[in-house]
Amino acid sequence: MNEKKSDTISIVVPCFNEGASIPAFYNELTRVFGEMDAVYELIFIDDGSSDDTLFVVKSLAKRDENVKFISFSRNFGKEAAMLAGLEASTGDYAAVMDADLQDPPALLKQMYAELKKGVYDCIATRRATREGEPKIRSFFARLFYKIINKISSTEIVDGARDYRLMTRSMVDAVLSLREYNRFSKGIFSWVGFKTHWISYQNIGRSAGETKWSFSKLLLYSLDGIMAFSTVPLSIASVFGLIFCLIAVVLIVVIVAKTLIWGDPVAGYPSMMCVIFLLSGVQLFSIGVIGQYLSKTYMETKRRPIYITRETNIENMEK
Ligand code: UDP
Ligand code: MG
């Protein structure tokens, strides 16, 4: 037995069809921990994969007792996987990492050293550039960050990755947010604590391909906006106010015109345009309200965020 107990770092790894990446990831991670004065607890979350992810993870767990796994009953999404992993984590520190080696394990050393100084509660990473990403995707990503930071009081950092190392108190704070519609980039920022950012160059996936299609990203960004801002809800009121003002002015103008020049036949085309415009604005506003309502509806159902099918962790009955 060591006299001085070294820290335990829990590594949470959401995996969706990552069977091909996991062995390389595991080797790299254990190599890095071999050079560190800390013990690892590796928690793989099999997010309803249809490949051999669970098999690969289980065989790792057989030879390494520090490897834990949670296997979901179906695909619940990366957010649910991160939550499950953080809930299961017991380390003094916890990190979230992708299984595809895009989040270099070697950085952990630097992150841990920085955290140990006790100044920060979290060391987070962001991409230095958007190199290697399709132009159109970068454009929309930038637009998203611009919009959300304008209309939300929670700061969402452009290019932030989910890769971060946190202290136990920050993890507990993150876990205390029990919302169903989870948007981690917002949650990590909302809980506060002192975060230090380090940038690194974007690296390509080691194997497999990205699980994010453009439409998945678009929906995710809308979720993010709705989870951290209610400004879209006020858009309806603003439109309503503007159109009321315009209507008052128009009424005055029309009444005056009628009194002075009589009542010629009103213009049908202009009338149609106004009707279309106003119904459009109304439907749009109702749509926005409907989106928030549907989120509220899902929250009030209090459904579990994920369902575990199999795990080697005790006390994980959810
Ligand atoms: N992931 C997941 N569930 C999903 C989608 C993705 O657990 O529904 C995991 C995936 O296996 C990977 C991480 O989330 O470990 C990030 O996904 P990916 O690498 O596809 O995203 P990118 O790095 O391209 O942003
Ligand atoms: Mg990736």
For residue range 257-267, list pLDDT tens digits in order: 888 887 666 67
Q: What is the pLDDT of residue 41?
A: 92
Confidence of residue 236 (pLDDT cuts 50, 70, 90): confident
Residue scoring higher pLDDT (112 or 241): 112
* Short-list 12, 15, 26, 151, CA closest to 86: 12
Q: How far apart are the first and last CA of the chain?
A: 34
- Ligand 1 atom nearest residue 47's Cα: 7
Q: What is the pLDDT of residue 2?
A: 47
Is the separation of the CB atoms in 163 and 121 below 8 Å? no
Residue scoring higher pLDDT (129 or 185): 185
Kind of pairing between the strands at 93-96 and 122-127:
unpaired
Q: Whose CA is nearest to atom 18 of ligand 1?
A: 210
Residue 28 and residue 101: Cα distance in Å, rounded? 9
Look at residue 271 and tell me whether its pLDDT is greater than 90.
Answer: no
Look at residue 21 and tell me whether its pLDDT is greater than 60.
Answer: yes
> What is the arithmetic mean of pLDDT over 82-95?
93
Q: Whose CA is nearest to atom 13 of ligand 1?
A: 98
For the chain, how big is the Rg over CA atoms in Å? 25
Quick one: tokens of 20? 């091909």
Q: CB within 5 A of ion ligand 2: which residues?
A: 98, 100, 102
29 close to ligand 1 (CB < 6 Angstrom)? no
CA of 38 to the centre of ligand 2 (A): 25
Is the separation of the CB atoms in 279 and 267 below 8 Å? no
89-93, 171-175, 256-260: which range is least confident on average?
Answer: 256-260
Quick one: tokens of 134? 């399709």
Is the separation of the CB atoms in 108 and 125 below 8 Å? no
CA of 184 to the centre of ligand 1 (A): 13
Residue 170 and residue 98: Cα distance in Å, rounded? 20
Confidence of residue 1 (pLDDT cuts 50, 70, 90): very low
